[in-house]
Structure 1
Amino acid sequence: MVKPVLARIAHPVEKLFDRVFLRREPERVVIDPYLGYATPEEILLRGRVLTSLRRTTPSPEASWWVNLRQMAGLFFTREVSERTIRVGEATAVSDEEGYFTLHLPRGDAAPGWFAAEAEIDGGESATLEALVVGDAPFLVISDIDDTVMETGAYSLVRNLWTSLTGNALTRHVFPDAVALMKGFEAAGAPIFFVSSSPWNLHYFLRRIFERHGLPKAPVFLRDLGISRTQFISGTHGDHKGAAIDSLLAAHPGVPVMLVGDTGQHDPKVYLAAAERHPGRIVRVILREPGKGADKRDRARIAALEDRGIKVDHGPSYDGFSAALPD
């Protein structure tokens, strides 16, 4: 009950701030493109309308203070609502936080990356991309924090320090995670990433992933904005569970592997997903950072195994194959 009450208080305050300090309607706007995905019927192109794009200029020698200022700058965006975005005959209107999703008929789109040029009223066009999955042996849905990239998410202080004082050249990506993801890619499995990080970091994360050779993949991030009914968009588990549900619905009948860690309640989230989708999740792979799995996580791992789901877990992914269980 606390978050809806906070939302009712904070939302009008935020709107008043916008009217007083940002009351001028922007003359030109831009699209911040996000990687989308497809369902059997549609291609979903995603993005956000802003007054300008925020990007960092990383240097390996940059001080923590320079990195902090640049990372903080990614969050000082001005979102633009009620702008119409078009791709052919398909249109979408940006919401109060600037987000939009264009729904295009899938038609005979070939498997792979679909690209289309999106036009926007009073702004620059942008290329939007979406992953169209064809026949796939299985689907991979992976966490990011302490799964693929070291953040120390199991410790709030460590997580904030790592996230805000590093840059795209200094952030540590686990080599074993890169090897695992490349193995999935070689097996023909499409990959999707889910994280509680905000959408402001979408381009930042893409740069890191590209630098380390991770497969190109859609990312599901989190809206930290304030709406009329929500003070920050749910919990970590709610966000990750909703993304898993959306991806399973978008790829009916395809077996699913879930990759994560024990530092941010992934066993709890993955067990709940397995209970909601009996028979769909066939394997779970978990890194055990920090002190490793606690008593509750060990119980959830056992519960996953009791459902016939193969669970691989340990301090690293070394030795874990990127294949369906026998």
Structure 2
Amino acid sequence: MSWLKKDPLQIIAFQGYGTDSHFYARGRALEDESIDLDEQHIWHLIVNTWKRFETDEIKNVGVSITLPNNTILKGVTDNKGYYKFEENLENLKALTNKEGWLSFELSYDDLKIKRIIQNENRFPGEILIPSTKAQFGVASDIDDTILHTGVVSTLKWKVIYNSIFRHAKNRIPLEGAAEFYHKLHKGISGENANPIFYVSHSPWNLYRYLELFLRQNKFPKGPILLRSLSNFLKKKPQDEKPQKQKEILNLLKTYPNLPFILIGDSGEHDPDIYMEIAEEFPNRILAIYLRSVQHKKKMLRVKGLVENYKTTMVLMVESSEQAIEHATKNGFIKS
């Protein structure tokens, strides 16, 4: 096996989510390509991008999760190195901090690997269990919603350029976005700890890049929900829902008593996805905020969609100030 003689091994835990009785965690087992997240030289940025996508997966091996109460869960990675734990447990909220984060430890559960990595077989992970004080959840897109990306550029050349040649620390968030999201997180009382979920069509390969961007720009901490590169590249059947839509529907299913605010942009498919979700769950979607983009044709299309839409509030916003004003007026946040 290739991992017996190559790079050190790692387990990347994607921040997941759950409830007091439902544990849901995902991640990936990979060779550690030693990506330096602080390196900003152009050549190193290109090399790092190559490393993100030319991954060496640790396939079909056992992995374990140890919870703070010493409960041990066992799983197996798939042929792309991904793992998924979904278990019904009890009293998980008792294991969380005041923001609702439950920390745990991951390890390889394979004797051959254990012999190789010995004492280094410990990797951190965490999931979010929303506070009982939460009044609503937020599901937000990333590209051109909180991060200048260029998804409406010709052939998406700006997306390619930004992802390869620009460091996450140098990427520019949309003005006022972090402030708006912190207000949503704090809620009307200032202490609601409303959960924020970042949902994107980007592949999981960019997870650490996006996590660094959110942390660097002081956005509220929240699970980042992406999709596998194989799904990113292949054409899906016409009747299959987009991965972003599936993720939001799973959030609504996981938290049946929690309404949601959906935030996206007007450049791609967010308006169609969000309105379809609102039609299916008309009493669960409090509002839809759509960032305006610099593309006349796309903006006209979206304006036509929202003009007579009555199922839930849809606001096309030019700035974070507009969104903050609307959210304050409707009792989602305090001024």
Distance (whole Å) between structure 2 residues aligned to residue 133 and residue 30 of structure 1: 28
Report what 2:149 is aligned to. Answer: 151
Amino acid aligned to 1:115: S
Length-normalised TM-score, structure 2: 0.81
Contact between 1:225 and 1:233, CA under 8 Å: does it hold in 2? no
Contact between 1:38 and 1:132, CA under 8 Å: does it hold in 2? yes
* Aligned partner of 1:289 among 288, 293, 298: 293
* Aligned partner of 1:137 among 135, 138, 163: 135
State the Cα distance separating 1:226 from its structure 2 match.
Answer: 6.8
> Larger deviation: 97-106 or 315-324?
315-324
Determine helix, strand or coil for the equivalent of 2:50: helix
Determine helix, strand or coil for the equivalent of 2:45: helix
1:83 aligns with 2:61: yes
Length-normalised TM-score, structure 1: 0.83
> Larger deviation: 314-323 or 69-78?
314-323
**In 2 relative to 1, CA 324–198 (structure 1 residues): closer, same or farther, beyond 3 Å?**
farther
Distance (whole Å) between structure 2 residues aligned to residue 57 and residue 40 of structure 1: 34
* Aligned partner of 2:13 among 26, 33, 44: 33
1:170 aligns with 2:173: no
**In 2 relative to 1, CA 103–324 (structure 1 residues): closer, same or farther, beyond 3 Å?**
farther
Determine helix, strand or coil for the equivalent of 1:91: strand
Distance (whole Å) between structure 2 residues aligned to residue 218 and residue 182 of structure 1: 15
Report what 1:249 is aligned to. Answer: 253
Distance (whole Å) between structure 2 residues aligned to residue 106 and residue 289 of structure 1: 44
Amino acid aligned to 1:284: I
Give the fraction of aligned pairs with identical amino acids, expressed as a percent: 27
Report what 1:11 is aligned to. Answer: none
State the Cα distance separating 1:220 from its structure 2 match.
Answer: 0.6
Distance (whole Å) between structure 2 residues aligned to residue 194 and residue 108 of structure 1: 27
Contact between 1:79 and 1:98, CA under 8 Å: does it hold in 2? yes
Report what 2:103 is aligned to. Answer: 115
Distance (whole Å) between structure 2 residues aligned to residue 100 and residue 234 of structure 1: 24
1:222 aligns with 2:227: yes
Contact between 1:55 and 1:204, CA under 8 Å: does it hold in 2? no
- Structure-to-structure mapping, 1:254-273, within 5 angstroms: 254-273=258-277
Report what 1:101 is aligned to. Answer: 84
Report what 1:306 is aligned to. Answer: 310
Cα RMSD (Å) of the superposition? 2.5
**In 2 relative to 1, CA 45–294 (structure 1 residues): closer, same or farther, beyond 3 Å?**
same
State the Cα distance separating 1:209 from its structure 2 match.
Answer: 0.9
Amino acid aligned to 2:266: T
State the Cα distance separating 1:323 from its structure 2 match.
Answer: 5.0
Partner deviation per Cα, 1:242-273 (whole Å, 9 max, x = no partner): 01111111111211100010112210111111
Amino acid aligned to 1:114: L
Contact between 1:90 and 1:103, CA under 8 Å: does it hold in 2? no
Between the two structures, name the one with larger relative contact order (CA 8 Å, sep ≥ 6): 1
State the Cα distance separating 1:130 from its structure 2 match.
Answer: 0.1
Distance (whole Å) between structure 2 residues aligned to residue 133 and residue 78 of structure 1: 34
State the Cα distance separating 1:72 from its structure 2 match.
Answer: 2.2
Give structure 1 stretches of 5+ with no counterpart. 1-22
Contact between 2:178 and 2:218, CA under 8 Å: does it hold in 1? yes
Distance (whole Å) between structure 1 residues aligned to residue 178 and residue 80 of structure 2: 33
**In 2 relative to 1, CA 323–132 (structure 1 residues): closer, same or farther, beyond 3 Å?**
farther
Q: Give the aligned length.
A: 298
> Larger deviation: 185-194 or 313-322?
313-322
1:211 aligns with 2:194: no
Amino acid aligned to 2:290: L
Distance (whole Å) between structure 1 residues aligned to residue 241 and residue 267 of structure 2: 12
Amino acid aligned to 1:73: K
Distance (whole Å) between structure 2 residues aligned to residue 245 and residue 143 of structure 1: 14
* Aligned partner of 2:123 among 95, 114, 126: 126
Distance (whole Å) between structure 2 residues aligned to residue 233 and residue 199 of structure 1: 18
Contact between 1:115 and 1:130, CA under 8 Å: does it hold in 2? yes
Amino acid aligned to 1:288: S
